[in-house]
Chains A and B, each alone.
Chain A
Amino acid sequence: MANIVLSGIYKEFTSGRETHLAVDGLNLDVANGEFISLVGPSGCGKSTTLRMIAGLESPDRGRIFVDGRDVTAVPPQSRGLSMVFQNYAIFPHMTVRQNIGYGLKIAGMARADQEKRVREVARLVDIENLLDRYPRQLSGGQRQRVAVARAFARNPDIILLDEPLSNLDAKLRDQTRAELKQLHQRVGHTMIYVTHDQLEALTLSDRIAIMNKGVLQQFAAPSVVFQQPANLFVATFIGSPTMNIIPATLLHGEAHTAVHIEGWSASLPRGGSEWLGPTDVSAALVGIRPKDITVHDGHVEGRLPAVVTLMEPTGSDAILHLDADGRALVAQVADRFDFEPGDKVSLDLSLDHLHLFDVDSGLALYHGRAKYGARPARAHAGPTMAQGAA
């Protein structure tokens, strides 16, 4: 187990005459035994970040520390970490036993000890009965376990996983996800997990690092990321269905700020801890999650009028696509499926769950005070970000 600090990491790729920025000024600290996820759209630099931590790529600028030791120039095998690759990279010409034991063999471990250790980790992921098979004789899920077992075999301090579930079908993915979490709870390695699937990140991690175009957007516990998104990108990336974003004007009074949307307005108390940014802007973007919109039949004074354009039942909920004076909105309604396209409805936006974002920078200005069953952010020791080391 070890903590990891990334400080001012910068990486670009040059192919031919073009240079392509992959990671831009990344700072990240991961505590001992913590499970963190790197999440973001495809191509945002997650894998590159992970590979730099592993030592498979070297950053153009910035430093990487493991347990306070600068490992930026240390070769991969000496960093005390293992990695699970997206396609597993299980050696097809070796049996499962040889695959898991390969790192031990290289380390020069005695045969008997190797065998013992291989059995141990194989038991951990429940593949003891497959040890003599070749990878081609395994299913996708079994291969994934072999890859995980191999990563654990040398008992590294840190385990890196690059989209390890993306090649599995949906059901197996859910099951394996839960098993991974249990595994982490049992063995407690520091784990860094790359995924483009926000649900995986939310369910697995102690903290989530959200990236976009090579830039870290927010690094916090899942509940915080969900309830207090740092900016518009995080707000719309995390959560499904996506948060509604509606342009609004702000009018600042003595004790309250009035938020106006065409056909609806509300007033928020001024000066509380809910306000994060400047309180004197006259325009903002309102963010509201679909399930924080209450839908009433018919037109009601003081509520936002809208027309149903489409209903998608999901089993327990209905996703309503709405048209409010030309603006497309989405609401999520529990236990009601009797809407029809063309129905006139009116909407209540929950003030406790309302967010405001700056129009230009996208930074959050205001978060409603409600918490969805928050859990405390994990306390962690270890060095704080080594700012300015670059």
Chain B
Amino acid sequence: MATTRFLSKGLNYLALAAVCLFFMFPMYWMLKGSLETAPELLSAHLLPGSISSEAFRELIGQASFRQYFFNSATVAIASTIVSTTCAVLAGYGLARFKFPGKAAMSRGVLFCYMFPSLALSIPLFNIFYSIRLGNTLFGLMLTHVTLSLPFGIWLMWQYFQTIPSAFRENAALLGAGRFRTFLEVELPLARSGLIAVAIFAFALSWEEYEFAFVLITSEASKTLPIGMTQFVTRDYVVWNMIMAAGITMAVPAFLLISFLQKYLVAGFTSGGLKG
């Protein structure tokens, strides 16, 4: 009895180690590659030959990389702000007001959540050009908003619903108007939902590939995911720089999510995420 239990515990830990190895290895490989020199990297040894910051220095030295990074950050931050604001307003409206068609609205939100980006970006290409949004960061930002908006609306809708009406009623009795109650009482109470929405909005925009790939053709407006994958298609493939670019892309998302991990639970438990 004791031995079987010991054995099964051992097997569990073995499995745990295997799982960790599987999920960590590519990340390790990226990090290792980014710290090696280009020739070393090509020999594919499991341990790094030497550690150098050469790849990072060279990467940062490139004006185009700085431009991509700046574009990505601009789009991600702007779309986070816009998406969160729209999601909070819409979620509040849907949760608080009585009007017909709410059930249809809830289905519509889920539909929007599943729209294939590429199928949208093809017709959008023409539309954006005709309304002068083609190749603009603003246009790209708008498309990124829709990646997180349906989920954000859904989450805020549910969040505002769980806030007991007594808070709102009490504020009303104390003389606060509708908008003041929303701003000073209900919004602070929905803070963790709001933070979860903001994290997703940022993470989804930061890594978005398809809209940016189709809609942006000018070098000046390219974002990091598009820019860095283009390194590969050049004649001389600088893998250590590409890996370094991968690390610089992964780090902001990684930091954001690990610092705000507790807010993620709110998102995950309320019906999953895009991916």
Chain A contacts to B: CB under 8 angstroms:
51, 54-56, 75-77, 81-83, 85-87, 89, 91-93, 102-103, 106-107, 150, 154
B180–A81 touching, CB < 8 Å: no
Our pick among B164, B167, B173 for the contact of A83 (Cβ within 8 Å) is B173
- Measured CA separation A77–B173 after assembly (Å): 5
* A-side contacts of B176, CB under 8 Å: 77, 102, 106
- Measured CA separation A82–B171 after assembly (Å): 10
Chain B 162-176 near chain A by CB (<8 Å), digits 1 or 0: 001011011111111
B174–A77 touching, CB < 8 Å: yes
- Measured CA separation A259–B170 after assembly (Å): 54
Chain B contacts to A: CB under 8 angstroms:
164, 166-167, 169-176, 180, 185, 188-189, 191
- Measured CA separation A83–B189 after assembly (Å): 20
Minimal beta-carbon separation of B214 from chain A (angstroms): 43
* A-side contacts of B170, CB under 8 Å: 83, 85, 89
Q: 6 tightest CB-CB pairs across the interface, nearest first? A: A103-B174, A89-B166, A77-B175, A93-B188, A85-B166, A89-B170
* A-side contacts of B169, CB under 8 Å: 51, 54, 56, 76, 83, 85, 89
4 new A-B contacts, CB < 8 A, other than A85-B170, A106-B176, are A56-B173, A93-B188, A102-B176, A107-B175
* B-side contacts of A93, CB under 8 Å: 188-189, 191
Please indicate which of the listed interface residues B169, B176, B188, B191 has the most CB atoms of chain A within 10 Å of its own CB: B169
Minimal beta-carbon separation of A54 from chain B (angstroms): 6
B172–A56 touching, CB < 8 Å: yes
- Measured CA separation A103–B172 after assembly (Å): 9
Minimal beta-carbon separation of B181 from chain A (angstroms): 10
Answer whether A91 and B174 are a contact pair too, CB < 8 Å, given A56-B169, A106-B180.
no
Our pick among B164, B172, B185 for the contact of A77 (Cβ within 8 Å) is B172
A54–B173 touching, CB < 8 Å: yes
A89–B175 touching, CB < 8 Å: no
- Measured CA separation A186–B8 after assembly (Å): 70
Answer whether A76 and B189 are a contact pair too, CB < 8 Å, given A89-B166, A91-B167.
no
Our pick among A76, A86, A87, A92 for the contact of B173 (Cβ within 8 Å) is A76
- Measured CA separation A13–B173 after assembly (Å): 22
- Measured CA separation A55–B169 after assembly (Å): 10
Please indicate which of the listed interface residues A51, A83, A85, A89 has the most CB atoms of chain B within 10 Å of its own CB: A89
- Measured CA separation A83–B169 after assembly (Å): 9
Minimal beta-carbon separation of A98 from chain B (angstroms): 10
Please indicate which of the listed interface residues A51, A81, A93, A150 has the most CB atoms of chain B within 10 Å of its own CB: A93
- Measured CA separation A81–B173 after assembly (Å): 7
- Measured CA separation A55–B189 after assembly (Å): 24
- Measured CA separation A283–B172 after assembly (Å): 54
28 A/B residue pairs, CB under 8 Å, sorted by A: A51-B169, A54-B169, A54-B173, A56-B172, A75-B172, A76-B172, A76-B173, A77-B172, A77-B173, A77-B174, A77-B175, A77-B176, A82-B173, A83-B169, A86-B166, A89-B164, A89-B167, A89-B170, A91-B185, A92-B189, A93-B189, A93-B191, A102-B171, A103-B173, A103-B175, A106-B174, A106-B180, A154-B174
- Measured CA separation A45–B268 after assembly (Å): 39
- Measured CA separation A217–B171 after assembly (Å): 33
* B-side contacts of A87, CB under 8 Å: 164, 166
Please indicate which of the listed interface residues B171, B172, B174, B188 has the most CB atoms of chain A within 10 Å of its own CB: B174
Minimal beta-carbon separation of A143 from chain B (angstroms): 13
* A-side contacts of B166, CB under 8 Å: 85-87, 89
